[in-house]
Amino acid sequence: MSSAELASIVSESLRQDMVRYFAESRKLYTGPWRIEEFDHRRTGPGFSHEELVDCLHALLVDPGSLACRDLMMRMCRQNVPYVIAGQEVSYLRDALIRLAIRDGNTDAVSAIVAFFDALEDALAKIYLTGYLDVLSHRNDMRLRHIGLLAEKNLLIHFEKHLDWLKQLTAAVSVRDRVAMPEARHDRCEFGKWLHGEGTRIVRDKSHYTHLVETHAAMHRVVEEIDGMMGQPCDSLPIYALMKKAENYSLDIGNEIAMLNSMVIMINYNKDPMTGSLTRRSLERVMINQLEISRATETPFCLLMCDIDRFKQVNDNHGHTVGDRAIVHFANALRSYLRQSDLMFRFGGDEFLLMLPSTSYQQGWDVAEKLRGMIAEQPVSVGDETLSLQASFGLLEVSGSKTSFIDSELVNNLIKECDQRLYLAKHRGRNQIA
């Protein structure tokens, strides 16, 4: 909405009433006694109460003022949530309405409501435009990263989903309902795969159900967006719905990334003794995981672990018992890991675990659970049992924070994870570092 359109909403006399009420509320706001609406104080980076109040005052005095627009653009660039600005506008609107009610000025009340409704949509439109530009850029980056994958596997289907999201972003940007992508969740390209071949690939029922429900929920949001477009004051609800749609999209990306790891576990060579992936395939898989992390903008975790004092097990009980301890250790690890987690036998009793779509805290929780399980499950050695303990080195990795993905990066990450395992040993073993 242009400044001229905003100015035309109220008459000159009512606008002067609003200026007068604004000046009175400003005195209450800046004085020692603050009205209730302003009692929440400063909100964070990007702007202050005073700055927004000054902008709104300038707009009332001069409907052609660009101060509010410039402030909103700056806030948008600094990622200040729109809800903060929206709350400020609501507080100011309520303050003016109270003063108009006090004077019995019903015409001014109506004018204030109309003016601030239009103002809120005008400011939300600035935010929506900025957000759609950022989303379009992020989506293009994700598509480029997937395009660079040496092995796309299941990511080829997420690539089709991102093409769909790109079409949605473009249609919303110009409010073109004809250009909107397929609304039915089972008829878009990703949905066709999910309800077709995907039913055979995703064997875990709960995992498959979550993916289907997430995808369907995102399409319901898009149906809401389609119904909103073209309505008066549509910018704010569309802005909120588009952010919700992107969150669903990222969740879908996380699910596909984990399913992709399950495909890798099936297709790559295994260690004959433990059934784990071999060290020979580690670099190739790690590079693939880094590229997926970059494309989906989600971190993953590496866990390096081994059996504490394993040399004593071999020395005291022989290599046959040592091999049995390694198999027991591998089975214990595998019993708690998700199907999408990757386990490599790094050497001897040392294993590297790769946990897709996992934060540092989530990785720590996994390591702590595994540490406790190992300690609680002894190995049977004839008529006796052999108690084991294990140490873990934990590292969170984010593909989006790396400039280059190559063999050197892989080696450096493994080295850092191994150093953390060494630190856990140095601190006394049977712990996480």
Tell me the mean pLDDT in the region 203-211: 83
Strands across the sheet containing 300-307: 277-278, 342-347, 350-355, 300-307, 390-397
Rounded to whole angstroms, how far apart are CA atoms 256 and 201? 11
The pLDDT score that the predictor gives to residue 7 is 56
Instruction: Kindly report, residue by residue over 242-276, the tens digit of the pLDDT.
Output: 999 999 999 998 888 888 777 776 667 788 899 89
The residue written with tokens 């601190």 in the block is 427
**Sheet strands (E) in 26-160:** none
Are 332 and 415 spatial neighbours (Cβ–Cβ below 8 Å)?
no
The residue written with tokens 């990757």 in the block is 342
CATH match of 269-426 with 3.30.70.270: yes
Tell me the mean pLDDT in the region 290-315: 91
Rounded to whole angstroms, how far apart are CA atoms 234 and 124? 9
Q: Out of 1.10.10, 3.10.620, 1.10.1060, 1.10.490, which CATH number does the structure's domain 3-128 have? A: 1.10.490
Written as six digits, the tokens of 297 are: 């903008």
The pLDDT score that the predictor gives to residue 35 is 43
Between strands 342-347 and 300-307, the pairing is unpaired
Rounded to whole angstroms, how far apart are CA atoms 278 and 345? 6
Q: Tell me the pLDDT band of 40, cut-offs 50, 70 and 90.
A: very low
Residue 108 CB coordination number (10 Å): 24
The pLDDT score that the predictor gives to residue 205 is 80
Q: Tell me the pLDDT band of 37, cut-offs 50, 70 and 90.
A: very low
Residue 82 CB coordination number (10 Å): 23
Q: Is the pTM higher than 0.75?
A: no
Written as six digits, the tokens of 309 are: 């004092």
Residue 144 CB coordination number (10 Å): 11
The pLDDT score that the predictor gives to residue 4 is 53
Closest to 390 (Cα-Cα) out of 346, 329, 341 = 329
Residues contacting residue 156 through CB under 8 Å, at least 6 positions apart: 146
Q: Which amino acid is at 208?
A: Y
The residue written with tokens 């980056």 in the block is 141
Query: What sign for the dihedral angle of Cα 291, 294, 356, 427?
Result: positive
Instruction: Kindly report, residue by residue over 108-117, the tens digit of the pLDDT.
Output: 999 888 888 8
Written as six digits, the tokens of 10 are: 């109220």
Instruction: State CA 368 to chain mean position distance.
Output: 25
List the chain domain ranges.
3-128, 149-262, 269-426
Give yes or no for residue 98 having a pLDDT over 80. yes
Are 286 and 410 spatial neighbours (Cβ–Cβ below 8 Å)?
yes
Rounded to whole angstroms, how far apart are CA atoms 150 and 237? 40
Tell me the mean pLDDT in the region 92-99: 87
Rounded to whole angstroms, how far apart are CA atoms 284 and 394? 21
Average model confidence (pLDDT) for the chain? 86
DSSP 266-298: HHS-B-TTT-PEEGGGHHHHHHHHHHHHHHHT-
Give yes or no for residue 186 having a pLDDT over 80. yes
Q: Rounded to the nearest 5 degrees, what angle is found at the Cα of 37, between the Cα atoms of 32 and 38?
A: 45
The pLDDT score that the predictor gives to residue 164 is 97
In sequence order, the β-bridge partners of residue 347 are 350
Tell me the mean pLDDT in the region 24-42: 53
Tell me the mean pLDDT in the region 183-209: 88
The pLDDT score that the predictor gives to residue 383 is 76
Give yes or no for residue 1 having a pLDDT over 70. no
The pLDDT score that the predictor gives to residue 175 is 92
Are 381 and 324 spatial neighbours (Cβ–Cβ below 8 Å)?
yes
Q: Tell me the pLDDT band of 46, cut-offs 50, 70 and 90.
A: low
The two most distant CA atoms of the chain are separated, in Å, by: 98
Instruction: Kindly report, residue by residue over 122-167, the tens digit of the pLDDT.
Output: 888 888 998 999 899 989 988 988 887 777 788 889 999 999 999 9
